[in-house]
Structure 1
Amino acid sequence: MDEQSTVQRNLALQREWYGEPLGDRVRRLVVAFDVSQANLADVLGISAPMLSQVMSGRRAKIGNPAVLARLIMLERTILTPEVASGNREARKRALEDVRNSKPSVTKDTLPVEHGRHDRVAITALRRIADADDLTGAARLLDSKFPVLAELLRRAGAVT
């Protein structure tokens, strides 16, 4: 099979597996976070050459499930008001959070639940408490309930 046929086959597989070519998804992240492709690769936990091969269709898939989970986490983060507004600090914080994440994919966990449900909860929390109360509550819960504490911290973040 020649290279052109391989690329076309891989892009078709990406559409089937990921909903669209990975190059399109990655380019949106590069633009939304205003980072280089190499920087994004570092955040995702993949080498820059490997990311380039996946984007161009020379490779069909992202083999590491944690890398795919981080990609999805970033895609969902784009929709948060802080990042969507172009807030440089929010973008930087989101990239660091994803870079430092240790997602694991098992039958019981999906490490990509930063999405619409989180935004609904954050909006509701902001309606009933001010930023200082939310971040204070996060500090109190941090050691025993870190996931809940992180949600409170995000709700208490100034946008």
Structure 2
Amino acid sequence: MEDHKIVQRNIALQREWYGEPLGDRVRRLVVAFDVSQANLADVLGISAPMLSQVMSGRRAKIGNPAVLARLIMLERKILTPEVASGRREALQNALDDVRASKPAVTRDNLPVDVGRSAIMALRRLASPEDLTEAAGLLDQRFPDLAELLRRAGKRR
């Protein structure tokens, strides 16, 4: 697949997984906090080259859920009166707060619908019959995974 098609596919996946391309979300944060992309990458806990690849669509996803959680934390901080004021001290405090955070991301508090994304990915990989059969094989040892496969195997 040529580069342009890969980028377009990745951006389409970002829309599906994150609601919009990650480049748009990150650019809003760069502007709102008046920081460089490299500084934002440091706050998020990701390398600057990796952030650049995600923004440009050369990579489809943020692989570390804690990085995604920090991105969402920053998006929410934009809405607070202190940060919305644009005061340099408030902006820096928000960035420092997120940089120091150690978000515990679990199935119960993951900020995106991973189940839906996983189901859609599984449906692209296998037929409903194969998914249901695989669920049966996993039932005893991995009931949660079996349930996910079963959900993916249900006809829409």
Query: What TM-score, normalized by structure 2, do the two folds share?
Result: 0.69
Task: Summarize the alignment of residues 112-131 of structure 1 with structure 2, pairs less than 5 Å apart.
Answer: none
Match of 2:46 in 1: 46
What is the CA RMSD across the aligned residues, in angstroms? 1.1
Seen in structure 2, the aligned counterparts of structure 1 residues 56 and 66 have a Cα distance that, compared at 3 Å, is: same
Highest CA radius of gyration, 1 or 2? 2
Match of 1:21 in 2: 21
Aligned length: 111
Structure 2 portions without partners, runs of 5+: 112-156
Q: Give secondary structure in 1 for the equivalent of 2:105.
A: coil
Match of 1:79 in 2: 79
Question: What is the distance in 1 between the residues matched to 2:34 and 2:78?
Answer: 12
Question: What is the distance in 2 between the residues matched to 1:55 and 1:74?
Answer: 16
How far is the alpha carbon of 1:107 from its aligned partner?
3.0
Q: Deviations over 1:82-114 (max 9, x none)?
A: 111101111000000000000011134458xxx
Q: Deviations over 1:128-152 (max 9, x none)?
A: xxxxxxxxxxxxxxxxxxxxxxxxx
> Are 1:8 and 2:8 counterparts?
yes
Question: What is the distance in 2 between the residues matched to 1:12 and 1:108?
Answer: 26
Question: What is the distance in 1 between the residues matched to 2:107 and 2:63?
Answer: 17
Structure 1 portions without partners, runs of 5+: 112-159
Match of 1:70 in 2: 70
Q: Deviations over 1:30-68 (max 9, x none)?
A: 000000000000000000000000000000000000000
